[in-house]
Structure 1
Amino acid sequence: MLFAVGVVAFLALALPAACAPTTESERPGVSGSFPPPGDATYDYVVVGGGTAGLAIASRLAASGCSVSVVEAGGFYETDSGNISTVPGFAFSNPVLAPVEFFPPIPHLDWELLSEAQPGAQNRKVHYAAGKTLGGSSAINTMCYHRPTKQTFQRWAQAVGHASYTWASMLPFFLKSATLTPPNWLKRQAPNATITYDQTVFGAGPLQVSYANWADPTNSWFAVALQAIGLAQSPIGFNSGVLSGGAYTTETISPQAVRSSSESSYLAKALVLTQLKVYNRTLAAKILFTGTAATGVSVSTNGISYTLTARKEVILSAGTFHSPQLLMLSGIGPQAKLQSLGIPINSNLPGVGQNLQDPIFFSVQSGVKTPSLASELADPARQAAILEQYTSNRAGPLSSAGGYIAFEKLPAASRLGFSARTTSLLASLPADVPEIEYLAGSFPGTSNGVTTVGDLSAAILNPFSRGSVTISSASIADKPVIDMGWLTDPADAEVAVAAFKRLRQAWSAPAISPVKVGDEVTPGASVQTDAQILAYVKQNAIQIWHASATNSMGISPAAGAVVDWRAKVFGVSRLRVVDASVLPFALPGHPQATIYALAEKIAASILAGV
């Protein structure tokens, strides 16, 4: 039975004071917020200083609760500098290399490598995950938008609680982010129209805005997508509708630098609360007295100690590490834990299962327009671009993204689908898109090709399932990750149809004025459905939106790990709050929802729910 919609929405507006407010004289100052290693006790211990972890920790600390955050990394601003803070470098950050042999960046990335993927030509894939304060909000490509209204209705039904409907979640979106309208003078792009709805933003810590430069190549991609039926959205992608195309809001501050959970939530909390941060500290396992979580075993520079939680432990280590830590702590599939000699605290078969990871693939052609990639690669332009950014926070370095579009595949694209695929797609809510289109580029080389244009399609609702498990009882051993890509034949059918839509966009007469030469990738040799699928299997990569490995739901028997309050089944005083608890893959980019989820669970905790 679903509860009344307004109950939890009200909690965002009127919360009882669960902890005593902090007075100014009690605040330690930023220098006192990083305690030395050693046993300590707090009301709440938050494991993971990422997108959700810092948001929920700062809200609890702002209510006067004593809160500590355990984070394996440091500050990305000092560890990696401009590559992490300047928007224009987001797509060229080597941490995002989705290949088996990738550049190691241990101060920023967990350096996870998947198992060989049978559905993707047995490729192993590096899966970037932020090992830094801010987590993946510190290394992502900054796209910010929200799912559809019926996505939230589906979520509410999956967990048996109406507090996840759009109407109930909207207050938490309002509470989490502030929108700065586009700076038209700096953008200077009348052919790159921006549409948005200011009423769906509040005054939250996270800064959301638009790039102060519009990529000319992306503006042509917008025209091509519109030509095949994806009209520009009149309200943008933050009002519960994902249909057609729009220039994206991005987590960029008015100063044109990355806004992460660290630079927004944490920066404020360090000044205004007594929040304590144990950075460069590794959590080894959650400690229990009986079935009650009582603390976390951690280590800093080889020094092991215990952080005790008087009230709750909140696990926010992400899609891969949260299930790993649960299993190391005796929560997970009984047979697996027993095989490794781990005592059982809660037999939950769903821990690490249900991994859903949207993938994407591209069609590339040469164009004669400048782009973010070609501008930054041009030695003759670099001094002027740097001056634009440093003096006016404008130009290519101020831009992280551009134009994206969503659709349900049109009828003509569905003609070859099997009855099973048709049925699976029909089971999705009516307003949930099936495909996202993303525009990108690479520097051109010769023969009038200024830019290699890259138009990609992402499968938003994968029916394939992967998993996360462990190989030992030690946190020192990385989680074992099977992405499960393209193991369900429905995903293969959808991928082939989406690929053909990419070619339709490239073939639109509207984009012909800027195209140069023949298709670059995959080229004319790829024509049949079998050839297209082989290309997709060899070249598809992740969009870094893996989720659902500790799924929220009603019953552990059905694979759920946490309930609607994010409380772990079978134990007490333990919650999981991050992308791992999503019950299914969200359409598009999830970071906006992860912030709102953290706000929601913080409100529940402070309300005693």
Structure 2
Amino acid sequence: MSTPAPADSLTFDYVIVGAGSAGCALASRLTEDPDVSVALLEAGPHDHHFSVWVPAGCAVSLPFRNARNYAYLTTPQPGLGGRQGYQPRGRGLGGSSSLNAMIYTRGHRHDYDHWAALGCTGWGWDNVLPYFKRSECNARVAGRDDDPPHGGNGPLHVSDLRTGNPIAQRFVEAAVAAGYRRNDDFNGPEQEGVGLYQVTQYNGERWNAARAYLHGGDRTDTAFNRGRRLLTVLPGTQALRIVFEGRRATGVTVDRAGRTETLRARREVIVSSGTFGSPQLLMASGVGPAAHLRALGIPVVQDLPGVGQNLQDHLDIILHKKVFNLDLIGYSLRGSARMLREILRYRRERHGMIATNFAEAGGFIKSRPDLREPDLQLHFVVAMADNHNRTFNYGHGYSCHVCVLRPESRGEVRLASADTREAPRIDPRFLSDPADMAGMMAGFRAVRGILAQRPLAELGGA
């Protein structure tokens, strides 16, 4: 279901395009003023669905294109031997917070201070920390606001996993044995180290941005707005283009249930459609590189060559190990019997393996000792998850991802068509800068060293 727009008016103070992590928060904050009207547009469906609120449900939605996953592909990448990269992206209320691994990590404090040093006044670490705390309801400090790094009364629930996997704990022990320090709070004073991730879950269920900022997890709230009279949430509404009067954005033309409508904004049109969707909508509306727009027959409103440029993405490499252990999620007859018991357990008590976020452990490490902050992130997955689980692996095992945090390679997003219902052309130019390969190989060697330590090595496998 969706909230019907008023029959006599399609005009609002603000029209927000995209109900992902940013859009949900924006809509909630703006409508704290009871006199402000907001329309929140989302191309995908609502999030009252098991594949969203059941943590392990991402294994269903993540590998394939479906109603809740755009499942983009990049252009063929020379740095990957001509292969295409898979780009899952959330489609629906909550955006990618309805699809991801629920890991709660902030950026490194030096990243924000670097932004401030470049001239982004108000974006230094000391400036943004109060807002992180304001948004967070961390179970470790729930109800308190006196914890230096964490908040206890915000809308976004954060917790430790209710049922941690013992193999994830072994990874942490192996990493410590390999010489890395244990870190029990990646969002505390220091990010560097290895440990178990905290997750955006509450009572064993995913707590996405829509739950945090729109409906609070109330599956009877089919208006998705917590009763806020002037917040109109419109799932199933595809933005086609921004409407301009001169150079001022005054509305958005949408496709809603096969009908073309225009929603008007008295104050602002806010584009929060993600890394790929935002430049796509801007360019389809005539804002972007003029030559590219004219080649697709799009009238130019403003020539802005930077729209869609400077794309930076975190490429990672995965190491697998096949280990027959029923604590690891996999495909086997005995594993299927275990999963059936775990499903029943989850239905009863919201505990067990179905409450996993898969990437239960990991860390932040340096590829070189002379670096000021970690440049690599590790994700230890309690399954042989390859290519977002798109590759079938029979049996059981674990995998570890090595992610380059600050890639030097730069790519772009361009239009493949003037129609926003078609996927954009995504070219990250993975590994076009040799520094990224150097960092990735350093991480590969580091993970091989961790997996060779006794806590994991004694499990055997190949």
| TM-score, normalising length: structure 1 | 0.68
Could you tell me which residue of structure 2 aligns to residue 322 of structure 1? 278
Could you tell me which residue of structure 2 aligns to residue 15 of structure 1? none
1:104 maps onto 2:65 in alignment: yes
Distance change (3 Å), C-alpha of 1:232 and 1:56:
same
The structure richer in helix per residue is: 1
Distance change (3 Å), C-alpha of 1:399 and 1:442:
closer
Deviations 1:272-311 (A, max 9, x none): 4420012211111111111111111112122111111100
Distance in 2 (alpha carbons) for counterparts of 1:243 and 1:36: 51
The alpha carbon displacement at 1:381 in A equals 2.1
The alpha carbon displacement at 1:451 in A equals 3.5
- What is the 5 A alignment of 1:432-451? 433-442=374-383, 451=396
Could you tell me which residue of structure 1 aligns to residue 222 of structure 2? none
Partner amino acid, structure 2, of 1:264? A
For residue 344 of structure 1, the aligned residue among 271, 282, 300 is 300
- What is the 5 A alignment of 1:551-570? none
CA contact under 8 A between 1:147 and 1:241: conserved in structure 2? Answer: no
1:265 maps onto 2:213 in alignment: yes
Distance in 1 (alpha carbons) for counterparts of 2:304 and 2:325: 54
Could you tell me which residue of structure 2 aligns to residue 149 of structure 1? 109
For residue 362 of structure 1, the aligned residue among 313, 318, 340 is 318
Could you tell me which residue of structure 1 aligns to residue 219 of structure 2? none
SS at match of 1:381: helix
SS at match of 2:31: helix
Partner amino acid, structure 2, of 1:134? G
SS at match of 1:145: coil
Could you tell me which residue of structure 2 aligns to residue 603 of structure 1? none
Partner amino acid, structure 1, of 2:295? S
Distance in 1 (alpha carbons) for counterparts of 2:384 and 2:114: 42
Distance in 2 (alpha carbons) for counterparts of 1:435 and 1:248: 15
Could you tell me which residue of structure 1 aligns to residue 364 of structure 2? 406
Distance in 2 (alpha carbons) for counterparts of 1:87 and 1:138: 9
Q: CA RMSD in A?
A: 2.5
Gaps of 5+ in 2: 217-224, 386-393
CA contact under 8 A between 1:434 and 1:461: conserved in structure 2? Answer: yes
For residue 415 of structure 2, the aligned residue among 470, 494, 498 is 470
- What is the 5 A alignment of 1:302-313? 302-313=258-269
The alpha carbon displacement at 1:206 in A equals 1.4
Partner amino acid, structure 1, of 2:102? M
SS at match of 2:122: helix
The alpha carbon displacement at 1:76 in A equals 2.9
Distance in 2 (alpha carbons) for counterparts of 1:387 and 1:410: 47
Deviations 1:173-203 (A, max 9, x none): 12212112399xxxxxxxxxxxxx6751141
Distance change (3 Å), C-alpha of 1:32 and 1:385:
closer
Deviations 1:429-487 (A, max 9, x none): x23x111111113379xxxx983221221111111111100133222332111121111
Could you tell me which residue of structure 2 aligns to residue 172 of structure 1? 131
Distance in 2 (alpha carbons) for counterparts of 1:129 and 1:315: 17
SS at match of 1:288: strand
Distance in 1 (alpha carbons) for counterparts of 2:189 and 2:97: 22
SS at match of 1:361: strand
Structure 1 stretch 149-158 or stretch 335-344: which is displaced more? 335-344
Distance change (3 Å), C-alpha of 1:281 and 1:323:
same
SS at match of 2:398: strand
CA contact under 8 A between 1:72 and 1:279: conserved in structure 2? Answer: yes
Distance in 1 (alpha carbons) for counterparts of 2:18 and 2:44: 9
CA contact under 8 A between 1:370 and 1:450: conserved in structure 2? Answer: no
CA contact under 8 A between 2:254 and 2:261: conserved in structure 1? Answer: yes
Deviations 1:492-541 (A, max 9, x none): 1222221111211122244332223xx4xxxxxxxxxxxxxxxxxxxxxx
Could you tell me which residue of structure 2 aligns to residue 52 of structure 1? 22
- Count residues with an aligned counterpart: 439
SS at match of 2:420: coil
Partner amino acid, structure 1, of 2:381? G
Tell me which of the two structures has the higher relative contact order, counting C-alpha pairs closer than 8 angstroms and 6 or more residues apart: 1
For residue 290 of structure 1, the aligned residue among 246, 255, 258 is 246
1:206 maps onto 2:156 in alignment: yes
Distance in 2 (alpha carbons) for counterparts of 1:140 and 1:392: 23
Could you tell me which residue of structure 2 aligns to residue 332 of structure 1? 288
Distance in 2 (alpha carbons) for counterparts of 1:38 and 1:131: 29
Could you tell me which residue of structure 1 aligns to residue 97 of structure 2? 137
Deviations 1:60-90 (A, max 9, x none): 012121000111111132xxx3222111333
Could you tell me which residue of structure 2 aligns to residue 479 of structure 1? 424
Distance in 1 (alpha carbons) for counterparts of 2:111 and 2:457: 37
Distance change (3 Å), C-alpha of 1:508 and 1:68:
same
